[in-house]
């Protein structure tokens, strides 16, 4: 039978049904025994009492992790013998209250790159870090190199890493040398971003 049907047969709500199911999973048949409603104090809370408080805190704050939940409960009732955050995490997982964490996007290519065998197979490019000239102008050197022979295709003194300053350099190089098969960068601005797709206006132009 489904939980809905079982709760209907015994005349209890689904919330109560899941509460008792959680007790049984956590403590076995002993967890189904009636317990006194006396207030908890002086560290006399039973394991069932503590589990219920942990579960209730998670239900009230679904986005909180076990560390934050335990920190709040320990401040609220420091006299109780609370379990560790890792134990609380295991309790929440057994009660089905722990969801999968969304994976963060990571740029590909952390390992070694294959060797470029011929010109225009692979170009590399990046900004080398900015500095100020004597007249106070901010300079962002941009280098573009053919990876097969380490030939320096361009060394441009751009004023920023913005797309509108970087793209004209590549546009000129494409006209002079043709398009490379691949392009590598250090995944910094303006070649890549930390967004879901990792794309920037400049990388979209490269794709087109």
pLDDT digits (tens, 9 = 90+) for 78-111: 888 888 999 999 889 888 888 655 555 455 555 5
| Residue 76 host element (H or E) | helix 66-76
Q: Among the listed ranges 3-7, 160-164, 183-187, 190-194, which one has the minimum average pLDDT value?
A: 190-194
pTM over 0.75: no
Closest of 171, 174, 138, 144 to residue 156, by C-alpha: 144
17 in Cβ contact with 5 (< 8 Å): no
Instruction: Answer whether the bond into residue 190 is a cis peptide, omega within 30°.
Output: yes
138-146/182-184 β-pairing: unpaired
Encode pLDDT of 11-60 as tens digits: 777 777 777 777 677 666 666 665 544 444 444 455 788 888 898 889 88
What is the C-alpha radius of gyration for the chain, rounded to an integer number of angstroms?
30
């Amino acid at each position: 039978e489904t939980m809905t049907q079982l709760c209907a047969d015994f005349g209890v709500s689904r919330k109560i049904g899941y509460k008792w199911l959680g007790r049984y999973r956590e403590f076995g048949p002993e967890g189904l025994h009636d317990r006194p409603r006396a207030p908890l104090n002086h560290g006399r809370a039973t394991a069932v009492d503590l589990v219920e408080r942990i579960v209730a805190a998670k239900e009230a704050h679904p986005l909180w992790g076990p560390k934050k939940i335990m920190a709040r409960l320990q401040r609220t009732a420091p006299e109780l013998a609370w379990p560790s955050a890792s134990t609380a995490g295991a309790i929440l997982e057994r009660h089905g209250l722990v969801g999968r964490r969304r994976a963060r996007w990571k740029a590909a290519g952390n390992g070694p790159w294959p060797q470029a065998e011929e010109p225009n197979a692979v170009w590399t490019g990046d900004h080398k870090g900015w500095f100020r000239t004597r007249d106070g102008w901010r300079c962002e050197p941009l280098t573009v190199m053919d990876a097969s022979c380490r030939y320096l295709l361009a060394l441009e003194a751009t004023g920023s890493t913005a797309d509108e300053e970087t793209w004209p350099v590549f546009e000129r190089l494409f006209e002079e040398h043709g398009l490379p098969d691949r392009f590598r960068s250090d995944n910094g601005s303006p070649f890549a971003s930390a967004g879901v797709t990792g794309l920037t206006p400049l990388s979209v132009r490269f794709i087109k």
